[in-house]
Structure 1
């Protein structure tokens, strides 16, 4: 990459941290609580829960907000208790720490995620020391990962968009949006469904 990069930004879910923790929360714990409350089977509760998620969709801020869903399903639970129950299940991909160690002395490393801060803080405890800043665009800016959110981050860091490189696993939010903001972007496709320029399948392929 020929551009002069000052700041390297990483997405979190699917990029640094596997999705298992999310799946335990959204597809196991919440359906279990609903099944118990409503006297439903787990399978029926899970199908109902997913159908309610899909009515909102990932383009809506409510999709990401645990407190919204606790209230929506009228559950007697707190997001703190739910998150702490599964905290021990959080891990990073094997390529994460070697990559961060390789980059930390050469670039300012930051996190840019659409997850609410209560999720972010618990997920990055073991790697937080590598990052100078962490941004939850939902909690900090009340928006999703849009070109505007990347421009806001550049303004806060006092850098040009061309000095930012973002790496993530969501084609729209982690690749298209930063590119439209004038930043550099690399799409991390761990499932190896795409090939092409600025697409990698493992962080060890990152050449900076």
Structure 2
């Protein structure tokens, strides 16, 4: 019997384009203002550093607070995460019903402070009993993507068996596969039907969870 529903955040609960706004608009804009240069110049500098960190699989890459400190930007993470820029998917309204029957959690690759602020700013934090960050809570894994071992640690933290949890995410490689490898039931949220030709357990809307769990 399923006791826990685990959700990815970006692309599952919140439109993933918000991250592009933070990384490629807001931070370059603040950098340009501080160091008196054009946005395009700032963008090139920052994009180059992002790419280098990602190439090295440096887990600090996914932490906006790190970049704010590194560049000595005159802002806070709370100021960078703007409510009007966050788009919550319409089918997230099913959380209200699901929380009455299940323990709801969020497991994301982004840093813990960034994840929690996004959920708070988007008005979603009240639905979830716990949040887990791959690069903060499981930094010993030294991975920018979710791992099966991290899923096992979540089960242990919650005191449940793998068969008592289901994970929903929008990435085959970062959500579906590592959850399955940990013997956790996995569902791919595929709102745009991009994976129609693959043998994957998927849903087109989070509202389907009410009838299939």
TM-score interval w.r.t. the shorter chain? 0.7 to 0.9
Q: TM-score, normalised to structure 1's length?
A: 0.85
Shift in alpha-carbon separation, 1:132–1:76, aligned structure 2, 3 A: closer
Mapped contact 1:25–1:82 kept (Cα < 8 A): no
Q: Where do residues 118-197 of structure 1 align in structure 2 (5 Å cutoff)? A: 118-125=113-120, 126-142=123-139, 143=141, 144=143, 145-195=146-196, 196-197=199-200
5+ residue gaps in structure 2? none
Unaligned runs of 5+ in 1: none
Aligned residues, how many?
202
Are the equivalent residues in 2 in contact too, given 1:29–1:82 (CA < 8 A)? no
Quick one: which of 6, 16, 19 aligns to 2:13? 16
| RMSD of aligned Cα (Å) | 2.2
Render the CA deviation track for 1:111-166: whole Å, top value 9, x for unaligned: 11122122122221212222222222322222442111110110011111121110
Structure 1: distance between partners of 2:130 and 2:124: 12
Alignment match of 2:2 (pick from 5, 13, 19): 5
For normalisation by structure 2, the TM-score amounts to 0.83
Aligned to 1:199: 202
How far does residue 39 in structure 1 lie from its aligned partner after superposition?
4.2
Partners of 1:92 and 1:175 lie apart in 2 by 21
For residues 68 and 124 of structure 1, do their structure 2 counterparts lie closer, same or farther at Cα, with a shift above 3 Å needed? closer
2:31–2:73 Cα contact (<8 Å) kept:
no
Deviating beyond 6 angstroms after TM superposition, the runs of 4 or more aligned structure 1 residues are: none
